[in-house]
Chain A
Amino acid sequence: MNRDKILFLAVVLLFALVNGYLLAAGELPADWTGVGVIVAAGLTLALYSFLYKDNPLFKFAEHVYVGIAAAYTFGQVWFPTLYGELLRPIFTDDPEVAATASVWLLVPTVLGILMLTRFSSRFGWLSRISFAYYVGLGAGLAIPRYISANVLAQMAPSLQPLSFSWEGLTLVLVMVGVVSVLIYFFFSVEHTGAVGVVSKVGIWFLMVSFGASFGYTIMGRLSLLIGRVQFLLDDWLHLM
């Protein structure tokens, strides 16, 4: 037996002992709620074992997660939409729900089913009709909305009258930032001379914003860790 195997067995034993104690001492209820906490704690620790090194315990928990999550999503697609909107109104006794039935829903149903032919080599081309609707309508809806919400509405606050004040200075700085970043991502002119200088300024602005994102991302990941440690120390071990 190598070192890792001994370590593995020791951890499993310890985990069993701790849970035995928690159940015996009444810290965890001996029902489905208590079992739930133990399962959750076990999976959490299994995933953390990745920190020691990549190992079967981690891979096990990772793949369990994939399977469970896929089936859960199936439920959320089935009950409210596929069953709830397409099937239920036809068969229900509830008059208010039955009123939502419509022959026209056959159109998206057929399109949806055609989409699933993609995996067939003979009928796969039928799925293109659904994809054309899916992608075409999505593209059409996007164009005016992005121009309005992400271009025009974003331009307006940077088109304000300047003044000799703190607000005016901020407006100038924002303007410099927006313009220089746009110039950095401008591919028709060589980055030399004046354009080179402006695009350099653009990089600085980009770097400050990446720095902000970087700091915030670190903060976010640490928050998630704190949340899990809170779970382990409080909900499981009742130490807090």
Chain B
Amino acid sequence: MLFLRRTLPMILAFVTGIIGISIYYVPHSSAQGLEEVLARWLRIVYAFAFFLGLFSLLNLHWRRVRARQAGWGYSLIVYLSFGLMIFFVLYNDGTGPFSPQARAGGYQWLFLNVQVPCGATMFSILAFFISSAAYRTFRARTPEAAILLVAAVIVMLGRVPVGAYIHDFFPAAAQWLMDVPNMAAKRGILLGVSLGIVATSLRIIFGIERSYLGGGEE
């Protein structure tokens, strides 16, 4: 059993990982064809992976409702709104779930009039909090933070029409900050992070990193 539960997945990860690396260097059509097939399969597995997220979301709120935890009523609202939307999605403007997606209908209405305004508003609230933080907490506590704030102010002025209106210096300086020091630092970060991603991928392929196997004892 240990072989099936532990060794087999690790062998599979190793084999698919090595194939994933090798086909990059092989232009032969059989290798490229293999890449196409493996990618298409992985894409479909990704579609199923959505249900993992959906299940844990619904499960979490279900547990709250069942245990009557504080604020369980809101968890019920998640269920109600989910149910309402799923009804319109499956109804599919009258054609049902076993036909291609409809161009309009209740689900489109709910998307445009509920999901879009809520999503857009949620993040716009941050504009207010950033303003209050600007006044109360963005402090040049250290020389480093001072450099950060000065760069931020120049960029903020340079990127909007009023900056050019005050002086041509601001757009030019903002552009230079973005293109030279910012670019250089971001490149340095990118090189380091990419090496990190390569190293993590390698640990997965060689079975050194196994967190993807999930918890639970063997």
Q: How far is the CA of A25 from the CA of B43 in the complex (A)?
A: 51
Chain B residues lying within 8 Å of A151, measured Cβ to Cβ, are 191, 194-195
Contact of B48 among A72, A116, A129 (CB under 8 A): A116
For the complex, is B62 an interface residue (Cβ under 8 Å from A)? no
Q: Are B82 and A68 in contact (CB under 8 A)?
A: yes
Q: How far is the CB of B100 from chain A (nearest CB, A)?
A: 6
Contact of A63 among B15, B50, B81, B84 (CB under 8 A): B81
Enumerate B31-68 residues with CB–CB distance to A below 8 Å: 37-52, 54-55, 57-59
Interface size class of A (residues with CB under 8 A): 35 or more
Q: Are A60 and B74 in contact (CB under 8 A)?
A: yes
Contact of B113 among A40, A88, A174 (CB under 8 A): A40
Q: Are B89 and A78 in contact (CB under 8 A)?
A: yes
Segment at the interface with B among A2-10, A13-21, A106-114, A189-197: A106-114
Contact of B117 among A43, A77, A80, A174 (CB under 8 A): A43
Q: Are A59 and B42 in contact (CB under 8 A)?
A: no
Contact of A108 among B42, B71, B214 (CB under 8 A): B42
Q: Are A208 and B147 in contact (CB under 8 A)?
A: yes
Interface of B toward A, CB cutoff 8 Å: 4-6, 8-10, 12-21, 24-25, 37-52, 54-55, 57-59, 71, 74-75, 77-86, 89, 92, 97-98, 100-101, 107, 109-128, 130, 134, 144-145, 147-156, 159-160, 174, 177-178, 180-195, 197-198, 200-202, 204-205, 212-214, 216
Given A67-B81, A150-B191, 10 new contacts (CB under 8 A): A35-B113, A71-B86, A81-B44, A104-B37, A105-B41, A142-B198, A180-B188, A209-B181, A212-B152, A218-B130
